[in-house]
Structure 1
């Protein structure tokens, strides 16, 4: 399969936003560069009209310029090895690829086979979720990771001492990659395939993790609340700072109280607790 390659120069504060927006219109791989991002889309699935509209919307504010090309039969692992850098979340966790050396001084280490930008810790939502996980007691807890992606949050829950971790995603590619990453980190859990309604997780979970997007979070909020016992925690991300009020307002009637909020690069994350 041939891929279209777009070398996009933009302001640094717009990199994460553009990655998220491009992912919504069919782009499936990204590399961050010194100038901006390189974005890749399968030629057969590329929507020129949506792409042109997106670039037009951000061109002036983000100071976008781009070069378009074609890249046949991309070896994404090779490309990532050239461009992927480890991530440090305070002294809590060091996220690295298998081709990086370990670094001392961190409480935990996660090894991720880096195949996409999302879920590696580079994205501001994943970074904040990892940080918030470090602030919630996981020891002996039952944890649910909704839309697990690469499995990084489920792995973090395991490292923080969770008794049981259940994870799933709607994308079979993510399930395969997540299980590969589970193996790299000694996690015996297997990732499920489907939406939360299809998977239908049973029983109460002390902690529910959901790093998805605003619309899905709003649609599934009542399900999350129903899976939590009293004093259980719901950690959310995947939305912009201006969306915080909508998420908190949707959570409140379900008995979920905001305990903490954070933001990074205009992306937000919340810790909610059930009454």
Structure 2
């Protein structure tokens, strides 16, 4: 996006910072904020006024966490050029020694999987713990010749990685129109030929009964708990769910939902209280 548009910026003061700044960021993504900057006091978060629901403050679960203090002040900005903002803040990230996620203006570095991602207003560059862990799972997954569904695709980075690792049929879905557009742009940047991108939510999944070997969903706890049965319906026998976007304390609820649908937890990863989990069916 090269055009400018009005934004609000909320400056959050958070105590303590360690372990809680990322929780705050993820919850702000859920209520409509789309870009962020770490500050000494906590976090500055940007949002278009039309995207922010009236009850956003009461929706933040972090406010109820024991020992956490959170406050904010709002600033109305003149029109902001988003491209310039994210280009200043997006640094390349390496997942192990095999994968590097970068923007197209970053210099090339030889690695096994070089992913070019222009995040713009979409979530998913590998910087957040959940995306990072999902990429780790994909690096070890058997994807050659497989079919993959990426729910809540954001930038499309997970679907792109899956195709790079050998998946041949991929569907990427996001409820946000901008994420759909951004995913299309990123699949083109990476030379992907097998990814179809759609705008929609869990209700779109009836199109693909028992079709996928893998379902990837890095969203949030509430959406996962609601839609896990829909994801399972799209799996072939022996398929797997890779799920993230929730905290360690949410894992029992997620596991209970998957087990009720016939799955079992095979492996989990944890980074800064965030979880990514693999369930096999």
TM-score above 0.5: yes
**Partners of 1:169 and 1:175 within 8 A in 2:** yes
* Pair 1:233–1:59, CA change in 2 (3 A): closer
Q: 1:174 pairs with 176, 179, 189, which one?
A: 179
**Partners of 1:139 and 1:163 within 8 A in 2:** yes
CA distance in 2, matches of 1:134, 1:56: 32
SS of the counterpart of 2:108? coil
**Partners of 1:150 and 1:181 within 8 A in 2:** yes
Q: 2:129 pairs with 114, 124, 143, which one?
A: 124
Find the counterpart in structure 1 of residue 9 from structure 2: 5
Query: Which structure has the highest strand share of the two?
Result: 2
Once the two structures are TM-superposed, the CA of residue 253 in structure 1 deviates from its matched residue by 2.6
Find the counterpart in structure 1 of residue 95 from structure 2: 89
Please tell me whether residue 201 in structure 1 is matched to residue 187 in structure 2. no
- Number of aligned pairs? 273
CA distance in 2, matches of 1:35, 1:68: 15
Matches within 5 A, 1:38-187: 38-46=44-52, 50-51=56-57, 54=60, 57=63, 61-62=67-68, 68-104=74-110, 106-116=111-121, 118-187=123-192
Q: TM-score, normalised by structure 2?
A: 0.87
Give ranges in structure 2 of 5+ residues lacking alignment. none
**Partners of 1:193 and 1:199 within 8 A in 2:** no
CA distance in 1, matches of 2:234, 2:117: 29
CA distance in 2, matches of 1:178, 1:214: 23
CA distance in 1, matches of 2:65, 2:224: 29
SS of the counterpart of 2:196? coil
